[in-house]
Amino acid sequence: MKPIRVLAVLEATSITGPAKNLLELARLAREERFNPSAEVSIAIFRREGDSNVFLDAAAQAGVTVHAIPERGRFDRSVIPRLRALAEELKPDIVQTHAVKSHMLLRSSGLHRELPWIAFHHGYTWPDLRAQIYNQFDRWSLRAARRVVTVSLPFRDELVERGVGASRISVLHNAIDPNWAPARDGALRTELGIPAERKVILIVGRLSREKDHLTLLDAVETVWKEGRAVPHLLIVGEGPERPPIEERIRALRLEAHVTMTGQVPSARPYYGIADVAVLSSRSEGSPNALLEAMAARVPAVATAVGGVPEIVTDGESALLIAPGNREAMARALGAVLTDEGLAESLRANAYRLIEERYSPDRRVRALCEIYREALARP
């Protein structure tokens, strides 16, 4: 069976979770061991001055990327350019990632000519423009032949928005079991983190739904209770940086928090972490959790979205309610002071990565979704 030609459309400058998974899909799916296999080309919307991080990562993975020029977020000239690219590449299937790509694909009319698979990664609410795009999803996704989402709560949300349940597939993200970084004392020294401190790591965009403020409150509690001497390492960038910096000053945690900003890869930072935390108020299938599991770093996470579908409380992670400062502080303190608990969480979580969340399993599932989409009239 010849490879299925796929054109994947997304908005990407940095390496977000969806971008990581798409690059991994494009790299692996073309291998002959998958039947059917897939040849994935990627189209991104690119403005003058955009970061090259995504393009650099794609080039390193040997993945073809087509840049569609745009002047701004609502530039409708990208629609004929998207149609022209589809005419040039002649894909068997077109897929989109996130609300902007969904809306532009449906506006282009390509869904009437090609099987369309829309990947739903959940919603963020950073500004009014993003909220407008989110509302357009009610119109966009109803026209997709198949919608792939990352958790059962997201599936239920899509059904409420009018997407037929029979057209929705739930597929968690994946990570290479060999992803774990080496322990790197040099990085710790470079960041100026004293040797006696236990490193709490959070990786992700600095946005409201990630709830860094509750995490900062919990770190202050751990510090004041004296159960461990913590150092919080915040990896990522985003619109919530000013409130986060303000809370750090208010809690007098300047000497106990390091903010790295945007980095090419979060991987090295797991090599110096004693515990990874997800303090989010909403999540889908968080890559940061899978990264911690693969890196053998014990995790504390809020029981939101698809998190309880991935890990079990007390067995492969410690799960807490979102926004609960005291519960988060207790969980962090327990992992940082009980090596037996930390080792048990590490071992059980890594076993899950090997058994359930490998990239090969995800690619096989997606190729089967492609095959079924092509088979439908």
233-284 per-position pLDDT tens digit: 999 999 999 999 999 999 999 999 999 998 888 999 999 999 999 999 999 8
d(CA 203, CA 295): 13
What is residue 17's predicted lDDT score, i.e. its pLDDT? 77
In whole numbers, what is the pLDDT of the chain averaged over residues? Answer: 91
Backbone angles phi, psi at 199, to 5 degrees: -90, 120
Q: Please, which residues have CB within 8 angstroms of residue 271's CB and are 6 or more apart in sequence? A: 181, 182, 183, 184, 187, 295
137 vs 351 pLDDT, higher one = 351
With cut-offs at 50, 70 and 90, classify the pLDDT of residue 40. very high
Question: How many percent of the chain have pLDDT more than 90?
Answer: 73
With cut-offs at 50, 70 and 90, classify the pLDDT of residue 20. confident
Q: Which domains does the chain have, with CATH numbers?
A: 4-174+358-375 (3.40.50.2000), 185-356 (3.40.50.2000)
Average pLDDT of span 144-152: 94
Question: How many percent of the chain have pLDDT more than 70?
Answer: 96
Lowest mean pLDDT among 72-76, 217-221, 316-320: 72-76
Q: What residues are paired with 231 via a beta bridge?
A: 199
CA 54 to mean position of chain CA atoms: 14
* Residue 163, SS3 per DSSP: coil
Q: Give the residue from 26, 16, 33 showing the smallest Cα distance to 63.
A: 26
With cut-offs at 50, 70 and 90, classify the pLDDT of residue 308. very high
What is residue 123's predicted lDDT score, i.e. its pLDDT? 73
CA distances to 44, 139, 145, 285 from 106, rounded to whole Å, are 16, 9, 11, 25
What is residue 127's predicted lDDT score, i.e. its pLDDT? 60
d(CA 124, CA 205): 10
Tell me: pLDDT of 121 over 90: no
With cut-offs at 50, 70 and 90, classify the pLDDT of residue 203. very high
3-state secondary structure 261-315: ECCCCCHHHHCCCCEEEECCCCCCCCHHHHHHHHCCCCEEEECCCCHHHHCCECC
Average pLDDT of span 111-120: 95
Tell me: pLDDT of 8 over 70: yes
Q: Quote the longest CA-to-CA distance of the chain.
A: 64
Q: Side chain identity at 158, as an amino acid letter?
A: L
With cut-offs at 50, 70 and 90, classify the pLDDT of residue 49. confident
């799916």: which residue's tokens? Answer: 29
Average pLDDT of span 175-181: 90
Tell me: pLDDT of 227 over 90: no
- Per-residue tokens: 291: 């990264």
What is residue 124's predicted lDDT score, i.e. its pLDDT? 65
pTM: 0.85
Q: Are strands 318-320 and 38-46 parallel, antiparallel or unpaired?
A: unpaired
d(CA 147, CA 227): 46
Angle at 45 between CA 39 and CA 49, to 5 degrees: 125
**Residue 236 DSSP one-character state:** B
Q: What residues are paired with 44 via a beta bridge?
A: 10, 67
What is residue 130's predicted lDDT score, i.e. its pLDDT? 64
User: Interhelix angle for 359-375 vs 17-28, to 10°?
Assistant: 80
Transcribe 39-100 into DSSP letters: EEEEEEEE-TT---HHHHHHHHHT--EEEEE-SSTT-TTHHHHHHHHHHHH--SEEEEESHH
